[in-house]
Structure 1
Amino acid sequence: MKLITWNDTFSVSIEEFDTHHKNVVRFLNDLFDAVTKKQGNLVVAPILVELIAYKNYHFAAEEKLMSRYSFPGYARHKAEHEHLTSKINDFQKKFKEGKAMIDLELLNFLKEWLTKHIMETDKKYSSFLKEKGVS
C-alpha cells in the first residue's frame, strides 16, 4: 500500500523537478511502508535522514532557478520551503532525542503539504520557467 501514488496531475512539466517530486513521493512511501509494518527506528531513521537531505537538495534546485530567472513568486515560495524545513528540523531533533515518533499523523501531514505545495505553489513557476527555456 502507498501513501501517495504519483500521477501526471502532479507534473510541473519540468523534467528535473518532476523527477525530484517522484523521489520525494518514493521516500514518503518508503516511510509509510516502514511505519505500517512497524519496522522500528533502525529502518525508519535512515529513510528520514535521506528524505531530509533530498528535500534540501530539491528546495535548493528550485530556488536557484527561480532566483536566476527572477520569478516573481520567489520570496513566497522560498518562505514555504523555510517553514517546512523548520518544522522538519524541529521534528528530527525530537525524533533523535526519542521525544517524537514517525506516525501516520506526521505522514499524512507531509502528504498533504507535498500535494498542496506541488499543485498550488510549484505549478505557479512552471509556465514562467518554461517561457525562460527551462524544460
Structure 2
Amino acid sequence: MITWRDTYNVGVRQIDDQHQELVHRLNDFMEACTNQKGKEKIQETLEFLKAYTVEHFRDEEKLMQSVQYPELAVHKKEHDEFVHVIDELLQQVNSQGTSILTTIKLNRTLVDWLINHIQKNDGKVGEYIKQHP
C-alpha cells in the first residue's frame, strides 16, 4: 500500500486531490492483487484511468500553460505516453482477457507513474508555481 505523503503535493488543491484519488485507486488495485482478485479489478481500474487521464491531464496542462511552465511540451509528452500505455493495456484486456502479466504490468506502470512522474515531474511544476505565483 502507498501512503499519501506531503512530498506528493504540488501545492494546487485540485491537482493534489486528483493525485490522491489516483493513490486511492492504486491501493484498491494493489489490495485486490494481494487478495488474488487483481484480474477482477483490472478492467475497472483501466476504465477509471482512461477517464482520469482525460480530466486530470487536461487540468494539469491548463495549469502549466497558465503559468507559462517552460517544460510543458516535455511534460505533455509524458502524459501522452502514459495514456498510450493505458490504452494498450485496455485493448489487450478487451481482446485477450485479463492475465497475470497484464495485472503485473498495470501494477508496475501505476507505481512507476506515482513515484517517477507525480513525485518528481509534477513536483517540479509545483516548485515553479511557488516561484512564479
The answer on whether the counterparts of 2:25 and 2:45 sit within 8 Å (CA) in structure 1 is: yes
1:55–1:106 distance in 2 versus 1, CA, 3 Å: same
The answer on whether the counterparts of 2:10 and 2:16 sit within 8 Å (CA) in structure 1 is: yes
Q: How far apart, in 2, do the equivalents of 1:90 and 1:48 lie?
A: 10
| Per-residue deviation, residues 59-108 of structure 1 (Å, max 9, x unmatched) | 11000111222210100000010011111111110011125534234302
Mapping 1:76-95, distance limit 5 Å: 76-95=74-93
Q: How far apart, in 2, do the equivalents of 1:116 and 1:14 lie?
A: 19
The Cα RMSD (Å) is 2.0
1:26–1:76 distance in 2 versus 1, CA, 3 Å: same
Alignment match of 1:51 (pick from 42, 49, 60):
49
The answer on whether the counterparts of 1:35 and 1:44 sit within 8 Å (CA) in structure 2 is: no
Decide which moves more: 7-16 or 84-93: 7-16
Number of paired residues? 131
1:40–1:6 distance in 2 versus 1, CA, 3 Å: closer
> Does 1:15 pair with 2:8?
no
Task: Compute the TM-score of the two structures, normalised by the length of structure 1.
Answer: 0.84
Q: How far apart, in 2, do the equivalents of 1:98 and 1:29 lie?
A: 25
Q: Name stretches of at least 5 consecutive residues in structure 2 with no aligned partner.
A: none
Aligned-partner residue type, residue 103 of structure 2 = D
The answer on whether the counterparts of 1:71 and 1:125 sit within 8 Å (CA) in structure 2 is: yes
Q: Name stretches of at least 5 consecutive residues in structure 1 with no aligned partner.
A: none
2:61 aligned residue: 63
1:40–1:78 distance in 2 versus 1, CA, 3 Å: closer
Mapping 1:1-135, distance limit 5 Å: 2=1, 4-39=2-37, 41-98=39-96, 100-101=98-99, 102-133=102-133
Q: 1:5 aligns to what SS in structure 2?
A: coil
| Greater share of residues in helix | 2
